[in-house]
């Protein structure tokens, strides 16, 4: 009886594998490569930068996540007129973050800013979740 169940299960798994496709059925293609190298920083490095005058933090999360709390002084960046939020000085130190390491919105935003000629752009890949979990302070709008 156990053998019959195992054979049936194996058959069902085999049938399922023909009907499931990862990647939405698109053609395989190389991963996107950026022309700029983005510097990533840790939470400790981010905290040290937060204490320095003139460093800008940009929160690239959704408005709902922003409302739950953000890094003190951070600028909400997930807006259509984001270019207007950027400083005039292209060498301003800017830190971008989103939710966590699984979120790539801050990476995309940072690369877009670098395309505009900004040179001191960083990404804090642990994001707001890492910041909160580590017990660091947040602000609310």
Residue 51: inside a domain: yes
pLDDT at residue number 37: 79
Between 107 and 8, name the one with better pLDDT: 107
* Domain assignment present for 69: yes
| Domain span holding position 96 | 39-134
CB of 58 within 8 A of CB of 85? yes
Mean pLDDT, to the nearest integer, of 32-42? 77
Residue 106: give its domain's CATH number. Answer: 3.40.250.10
Q: Is 24 exposed, middle or buried (0-12, 13-18, 19+ CB in 10 A)?
A: exposed
Domain assignment of residue 71, yes or no: yes
**What is the pLDDT averaged over residues 102-117?**
96
pLDDT for 21 equals: 47
Of 82, 68, 128, give the one whose Cα is nearest residue 103: 128
Write down the mean pLDDT value for the chain. 85
Range of weakest confidence among 8-17, 69-78, 99-108, 131-140:
8-17
pTM attached to this predicted model: 0.76
For residue 84, the 8-state DSSP code is G
Range list of β-strands (E), 1-141 = 39-41, 56-59, 75-76, 94-97, 121-124
β-bridge partners, 40? 123
Q: For residues 108-131, give the mean pLDDT.
A: 96
What pLDDT does residue 130 have?
97
The span from the first CA to the last CA of the chain, in angstroms, equals: 63
- Partners of 63 in beta bridges: none
Confirm if 113 and 120 have CB atoms less than 8 A apart.
no
């Amino acid at each position: 009886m156990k053998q019959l169940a195992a054979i049936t299960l194996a058959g069902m798994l085999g049938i399922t594998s023909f009907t499931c496709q990862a990647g939405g059925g698109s053609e395989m293609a190389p991963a996107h490569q950026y022309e700029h190298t983005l510097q990533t920083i840790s939470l400790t490095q981010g905290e040290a930068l937060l204490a320095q005058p003139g460093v800008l933090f940009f929160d690239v999360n959704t408005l709902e996540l922003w409302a739950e709390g953000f890094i003190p002084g951070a600028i909400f960046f997930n807006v259509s007129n984001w270019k207007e939020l950027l400083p005039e000085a292209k060498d301003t130190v800017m830190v971008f973050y989103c939710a966590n390491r699984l979120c790539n919105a801050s990476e995309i935003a940072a690369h877009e800013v670098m395309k505009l000629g900004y040179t001191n752009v960083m990404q804090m890949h642990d994001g707001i979740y890492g910041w909160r979990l580590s017990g660091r302070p947040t602000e609310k709008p």
